[in-house]
Structure 1
């Protein structure tokens, strides 16, 4: 079975499990909470968690509560992020706050946060020990805290006139993005009964994978095909996102192009013509390719960690996913 077939198979199992979590009253609240989940998503985090567990002998079915927990937690962050960023579209549909209103979207996100921990506690029904489940909950708590810290830094950076340094930006995305991927590999390996040193190695793999994933996301935000990504290209420009791609552009282009890009960056009322001009400056700068290369080098480091483990189908699936991560188009 190919990587995509395996991802689809696991995604269907996770989706089936998730569908049972949102059939309660008041239905309008649960509909708002389930809205983003039922409109797709790559389900990479459940895929990584499940394969991290299966590397050490865990059964897929027993890992489903944890896979659901991490996907629910991820979607909680998206709902609240979209509110803060005033994004109107995700996965090709209106965002939760556009569809249901801001107050209901905040409640929907809060419910998702609580439901993620409820899902994790259901691991006790799958014969995992209290100690293992406590460690799983601790990993979810750590990831939740780090995501909030990262989002706070992102808001602070947005308010500043200065661009973050490369080191500062990597720290930001390690908190905002890598934290959940670290939780996936940590939780999976814990539930697989891995030794402490193996858990730490998988945690580092998750950290590196998250960095690679976010860097490519930043590239796709200014080069991607909306029909594939599900996001309008140029959103990051209107929002004034100070990504590594934009930093590299500003560091390398002419003063004229630099001034033009800065005049458009963060202008939510920028016309389509202005956005296209900004995208043209970015594309011709070579910055997207430079960031792609950094992502590729990081993905190679992540793969080298996996190669320390015995060959298995689960390990090879994670290697294939990581190889694809730096070259993906969605």
Structure 2
């Protein structure tokens, strides 16, 4: 085993120990932090300097994407006008390992002046930040993974995990669902996985009736460009589908037949509110290229496998 791998494992184990200590140290103050955020009429203003600032940005992004309005405010910029972003309707979540970061002074003073709830996160209970905070979240005195205690490693990992814990606790309280998440995250792989069939389907549905001559049915297949057509009864309900395979099986005398004689009955269908990922799984499992989308048995759209590919599902 190389020295590099041994170092990496030591770092990871050290940070795991810190996370274990953090989990064991949680108390009623964590409940108070969650309640303070739930009671806020505005946003969670997350702030920190240096490495804590990078963690603060990530926490703010996680909160915002999971149903809790949040914004990162840089403490130095806050001292030069951005304090106007922090209102009495907000709650501040301020991060500092030492609790003595000088750049935080104006932001802390602003919260005290306007009685804005302040949640402080630091490792020193007697620090300026935690003495001024309404809710105190103390990080355990865990060993930094760098070995000499000067590089923020375990402390930043614990702070990030604490932010995730707050976000998930808030999510569960609000019963935040995958559909809610998709609203805030329409792009990227996650947005694609949470897309609904109705978001991707085409509404110009190729359909013919049972008694349509195959000469006309072939025109519909050719004009729509999906390689298929649905077959509906007199009430408009989907009862069958005509594919390339059906055409090949009825090649002899095809043009003398009607759609109802060529179609495959009871085709696979899907609802518009189903996840597009589910539709893709059906198409891959059945080795088919499209699904008709139906509501109350009536076709309202058609989804082609290429639509799923374009959306980034694969």
TM-score by length of 2: 0.21
**Greater RCO structure (CA 8 Å; 6+ sep):** 1
Q: Which structure shows the higher helix fraction?
A: 1
TM-score by length of 1: 0.20
Q: Which structure shows the higher strand fraction?
A: 2
